[in-house]
C-alpha cells in the first residue's frame, strides 16, 4: 500500500471558471468522505491565457452561494510533467481531453477521463470528437450559465468520489 496521496487534476481552458469550481467541489466531497489525507485535488488549464488570474468573480459568487470556501487561487497551465504523473486527469470537454492526450505518455492515457463520464446516466463518449459530455462553458454566458455549470459539477462529483474510493482500495 502506498502512502502517497491519490492525485486528481481538473482541467479546463484558462483555469478560472470550470476547473477551479470542480476542484473546490471535489475537495469538499473528499473531505466529507474523510479522505483528505488520501486524495489531493488541484486544477489547471490547457492554456496560459489566464495565467495568474484569480477565479472568475461569477464562479466565486455561485460557489459562495452554495456554501463553499474559496481558496486563494491563481490560474496556471498544466505542465507535461504534471500531466505525466497525476493519477486522474479530469478534463471538462472533449477539446481539453484531446489537448491532454497529446502530452500524457502512452501508458497513462487511460488516466484521462472526461469529468462528466462518471455519470452513469450518460452514454459513453463515442469518439475523441464527441462533445456530448462536455461541461457547460459559462464564460460567455449569463449568471444562469454559471449555475448550470455548478449543477453539472455537483451532480457528477459523488460518482467521482465513489470511483476513486475503489481505486484507493486497489492500491
Per-residue pLDDT of the chain (171 residues; tens, 9 = 90+): 456 899 999 999 999 999 999 999 999 999 999 999 999 999 999 999 999 999 999 999 999 999 999 999 999 999 999 999 999 999 999 999 999 999 999 999 999 999 999 999 999 999 989 999 999 999 999 999 999 999 999 999 999 999 999 999 998
Catalytic annotation on 17? no
Query: What CA–CA distances, in Å, run from 1 to 86, 116, 168?
Result: 18, 29, 9
**pTM beyond 0.85, yes or no:** yes
Kindly name the residue from 12, 17, 58, 76 that is annotated as catalytic: 12
Helical (H) or strand (E) element with 83: helix 80-85
Domain 6-162 has CATH 3.40.50.2300: yes
Please report the pLDDT score of residue 1 as a whole number.
Answer: 46
Please report the pLDDT score of residue 4 as a whole number.
Answer: 87
Kindly name the residue from 95, 108, 113, 137 that is annotated as catalytic: 137
The span from the CA of 120 to the CA of 158, in Å, is: 11
Catalytic annotation on 18? yes
Please report the pLDDT score of residue 2 as a whole number.
Answer: 55
The span from the CA of 33 to the CA of 79, in Å, is: 29
Please report the pLDDT score of residue 90 as a whole number.
Answer: 98
With the CA atoms of 158, 159, 161 and 165 taken in that order, what torsion angle do they form, in degrees rounded to the nearest 10?
A: 140
Q: Are 22 and 149 in contact (CB under 8 A)?
A: no
CA angle 161, 23, 31 (to 5 degrees): 50
DSSP string for 125-158: P-STT--TTPPP--TTS-HHHHHHHHHHHHHHHH
Kindly name the residue from 18, 58, 76, 116 that is annotated as catalytic: 18
Please report the pLDDT score of residue 100 as a whole number.
Answer: 97
Domain ranges, ordered by start, for the chain: 6-162
The span from the CA of 149 to the CA of 144, in Å, is: 9
Amino acid at each position: 500500500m502506498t502512502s502517497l496521496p491519490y492525485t486528481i487534476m481538473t482541467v479546463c481552458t484558462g483555469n478560472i471558471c470550470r476547473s477551479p469550481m470542480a476542484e473546490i467541489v471535489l475537495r469538499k466531497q473528499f473531505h466529507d468522505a474523510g479522505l483528505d489525507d488520501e486524495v489531493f485535488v488541484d486544477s489547471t488549464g490547457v492554456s496560459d491565457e489566464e495565467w495568474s488570474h484569480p477565479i472568475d468573480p461569477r464562479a466565486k459568487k455561485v460557489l459562495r452561494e452554495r456554501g463553499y470556501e474559496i481558496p486563494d487561487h491563481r490560474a496556471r497551465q498544466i505542465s507535461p510533467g504534471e500531466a505525466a504523473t497525476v493519477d486522474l486527469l479530469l478534463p471538462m470537454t472533449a477539446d481539453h481531453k484531446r489537448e491532454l492526450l497529446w502530452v500524457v505518455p502512452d501508458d497513462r492515457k487511460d488516466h484521462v477521463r472526461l469529468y462528466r463520464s462518471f455519470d452513469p446516466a450518460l452514454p459513453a463518449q463515442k469518439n475523441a470528437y464527441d462533445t456530448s459530455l462536455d461541461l457547460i462553458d459559462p464564460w460567455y454566458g449569463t449568471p444562469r450559465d454559471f449555475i448550470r455549470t455548478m449543477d453539472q459539477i455537483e451532480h457528477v462529483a459523488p460518482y467521482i468520489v465513489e470511483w476513486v474510493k475503489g481505486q484507493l482500495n486497489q492500491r
